Every structure is written in structure tokens, then in C-alpha cells.
Amino acid sequence: MTMGFGWILEWVFGWIYSSLLAGVLVIGSPYWLVRMATSGRYRAGLWGRLGFVPRELVQWRKTVGRVVWVHAVSVGEVLVAARLIEEFRRVRPELRFAVSTTTKTGQELAKTRLGLGSAFGCGVFYLPLDFGFAVRRYLRVLRPEMLVLMESELWPNLLAECGRVGVPVAVANARVSDRSFPRYMRLRRLWRPLMERVAVFLAQSEETAERLGAIGAPRVRVSGNVKYDAKVGGESQVAGLIREQAAGRAIVVAGSTVEGKTVYEEDVVMKAMWGERGVWEQIPEVLLVLAPRHPQRFGYAYSLGLEFGVVSATEMLEGKRATGTARQTVVLDTIGDLAAVYGVADVAFVGGSLVRKGGHNPLEAARFGVPVVMGPSYENFREIVERMRAADGIRIVEDQDELAKALGELLTDRVAAKALGERGQRVFEEQQGATERTVTALVELLPGGAR
């Protein structure tokens, strides 16, 4: 009786979900059509999203043998997926990988780092919309031996269709943030059937594992956070150009800045640099690298530096340089270079934290021994930040004035800055090894299991 009721509940949920998804697409189509016509957004990969498998992906599949499908939403997940795929290829070199993304920036990075022109030779495509017919077309072409979802991407029809054809699904580097956990708990009766379709959740931490169990995940293992292991391939060309532009001067990198409801984080950073008692009042020759999280903010960030000297990374690649030596800003408007650019910083501010966005990963900078400053909103990486705070390996600031003060102190007291960076770096080093544990668990799901 319980199984029968569960099946009925799942069927009803699936029908309602698909109907709502179709309704949203129909009702929202005028808006999306306008955005596609005026800004180009949503246009990329449109036919592929609707279930028309790209011809190049079909051709790629004909040339390879055993395939694992990896889904990575955007840039951060693509970087982690690259590390996983590298380890997978080491232990199971016969496997090939098809990589899907959701965002345009993620797609561009995946094609550059993992696509056919790279050493990985992966098939790269946009994840289809979560309709059964669209998902089935990709499954028929790819015939994957496993689907690996990065972090927390659970799509009902994708899971259902994989279950129908016997493709095991794993969630790697799984996490449940402070913000999303209450929502999951309120809807756990609806989530439970979906989570039962997942062969294993490989959690970043014990806390995440406990949360997944509370929501209804029946099979959870703690493998650690793969982001601790994510490699930065040698220094990027952009990072080298920024070091050249600095010419020995100190570099402040403000990474992954975002827009809040009432304030832009780029504004906060710039005012901390040039405002009263700002960094440039004390040390005018400091070079600021401003790296907005989203491409649509590149132009705005550039405009903030026009009063002084400003140049974008794209312009630097074309040979342009900022003039003068004081109050210079470089806008990082390329994709996938931020991790390497952190490596040339003297101090790093990690964004999404001075507005209520939950913050970004401070280990991307701490791995290089760079002293890290963050705002008070770090819910998305709370466990990491708390580890760093316990080790006195990070500075937390509340507002623009405190940010200016922290940056100024770390730039003038290089001994204290070096010690802070080293303590943060030790936190990073203590957590490594998650990639190998994750891949070991995933290999067990493949036909034939581990060798």
C-alpha cells in the first residue's frame, strides 16, 4: 500500500511539475523573445535546450566508446568537473565524458577547458529543458553509463528518464546551503521520491550529509569538498598581463562582486579604494582588479574606473595598457581567469559577501597564501569560512569603512598579511583529497564497478 501510494504521489507530482513548466514557458515566451531579440540572452543553445541534439554532439558520440554524462551548471561547477574528469581519466582512461551546462558563461568555459579542442576532448552542450521528450533524445544519443550532477542540480524528469533506462545518477560535491535547507524541509515529502532516484549523494561535509538525510536522501556518503582540490592550470595570460601592468606595485583583487537589492558591491569596493580614508588616500599606486561575477556587470565596473586609469582584461589581451601609476583599475572581463588572477594578488576581497548573496569560495584565493577579506554574508560557504576564522586565516568586515581599513592594514603591514595568508592556506591544504574519494565512489556505480 505504501509503495502504491508513493508511486501515485510521484506520478501526480510529475504531471503537475511538467504542466507548470510548460505553462511558465508559454506565459513567459513574450518576455524571453524580447530578451533574445534585444540582448541575445537565452538565444545561445536554444534548439539544443528544446531537445534538438546538436549535430556535432551526435558526431562526437559516434567516435567514442563508453560515456559518462557530467552536468555542471556554470563556471564554478565546470572548474570542479574538470578536476573530477581529470582524476576519472587517470583511473579509468577508457571513459569519455559529455559535459552539459546551464549558463552561457559555463558553456564557453567548458568548451575552452574541456571541449573537442582541448586535451580532454569532451562533448559539450546545453542541458535540455526538463521535459521528458527532450531528455530522452539526449539519452538515446549519449547512451551514458552514468550521470553525475554537480552539487545540487535535481531535475525531476531528468531523474525519471535516467531511471527508466537504467542510468545510475550520482550527485557529486553535494551541498545544502543555510538558505535552501528550510525550503527543502518544508517540501521534503515532494523531494523524497526524487532523492530516492539518486544512487548516491557524495556530500561535502558531515553537516550536509545530515541535512540530506533529513530531507529524505536514502544513500549519502561524505567525500569532502572537491573545490579544495580544484587545480589552477599554470598562470593564465591575463594574470601575467596584470602582474606586468602592476610593475611591482601591490595588487588588490576584488573577485566575484555582485549586485545587491540596494547597493552594488563594485561601488562599495571602489569607495573603499578612493573615498575618505580609502586605500588610495594612503597608497595611491595600488592596482585594483575588479572582477564582477556576472558578465552584464563588466561595463558598469569599467565605468567606475574612468575617473582614474582603467583598462579591461580584453583590452590588455589586445595590447592596451592603462597609463600612469596611481589609482589604476583592471576590470577582469574574461571567463575562467579569476582563480589564476587571485594568485598574483597581495590582498583579495571575495565578493557576494557585503550584500546578502551568501558569498563565494574564499579558498580560491587562500590556496595561494593570499590574505583574504570577506563581508558578513558567507552562508554559501559557512563551513569553510568558519574553519578559516577558527584558524585566524581570514578577515571579516561589516561595511565599506571596515573594508578600507582591512585592505589598508594588510597592504602596509606585510608581515601580518603574510601570516594571515599562510594560516588560510593551511586550512586549504588540510582539506585536500576529496577528488580521489569522490571518483572512487563514482567508479563503483559503473558497470563492472571498481577494478
pLDDT at residue 2 in the model: 42
On the question of pLDDT at 404 being above 50, the answer is yes
On the question of pLDDT at 1 being above 50, the answer is no
Split at pLDDT 50, 70, 90, the class of 427 is very high
pLDDT over 70, % of the chain? 88
On the question of pLDDT at 129 being above 80, the answer is yes
Q: Closest Cα partner for 438 from 97, 152, 88?
A: 88
Q: Does 207 participate in catalysis according to the annotation?
A: no
On the question of pLDDT at 110 being above 60, the answer is yes
The pTM for the full model equals 0.78
On the question of pLDDT at 420 being above 70, the answer is yes
Mean pLDDT across the chain, nearest whole number?
Answer: 90
Tell me the average pLDDT across 145-154. Answer: 92
Q: Which residue has the higher pLDDT, 177 or 390?
A: 390
Q: Which residue shows C-alpha cell 576519472?
A: 88
Between CA 241 and CA 284 the distance in angstroms is 20
pLDDT at residue 189 in the model: 85
CB burial of 284-311 (b: ≥16 within 10 Å; e: otherwise) equals bebbbbbbbbeeebbeebbebbeebbbb
Enumerate residues 6+ apart whose C-beta is below 8 A from 441: 170, 200, 202, 221, 223
On the question of pLDDT at 3 being above 50, the answer is no
Neighbouring-strand partners of residue 349: 254, 373
Between CA 227 and CA 268 the distance in angstroms is 28
Between CA 1 and CA 145 the distance in angstroms is 33
Tell me the average pLDDT across 141-166. Answer: 93
Q: Which residue has the higher pLDDT, 345 or 29?
A: 345
Split at pLDDT 50, 70, 90, the class of 254 is very high
Reading across the β-sheet that carries 251-257, which strands appear in turn? 309-312, 328-331, 287-292, 251-257, 347-350, 372-374, 395-396
pLDDT at residue 324 in the model: 77
pLDDT at residue 5 in the model: 46
On the question of pLDDT at 21 being above 90, the answer is no
For residue range 284-330, list pLDDT tens digits in order.
Answer: 999 999 999 999 999 999 999 998 899 999 999 999 988 777 899 99
- List helix spans (H) across 165-295: 181-186, 188-196, 206-215, 237-246, 265-274, 279-282
pLDDT at residue 37 in the model: 54
pLDDT at residue 284 in the model: 94
Q: Which helix H or strand E contains 23, and what residues bound it?
A: helix 2-38
Q: Is 350 helix (H, G, I), strand (E, B) or coil?
A: strand
- Active-site residue (options: 10, 56, 77, 318): 77
pLDDT at residue 231 in the model: 62
Taking the CA of residue 113 as centre, how many other CA atoms within 13 Å lie in the half-sphere pointing to its CB?
Answer: 28
Measured N-to-C along each axis, helices 104-113 and 75-91 cross at an angle, to the nearest 10 degrees, of 30
For residue range 335-378, list pLDDT tens digits in order.
Answer: 889 999 999 999 999 999 999 999 999 999 999 999 999 999 99
On the question of pLDDT at 10 being above 90, the answer is no
Q: Using an 8 Å Cβ cutoff, are 317 and 241 in contact?
A: yes
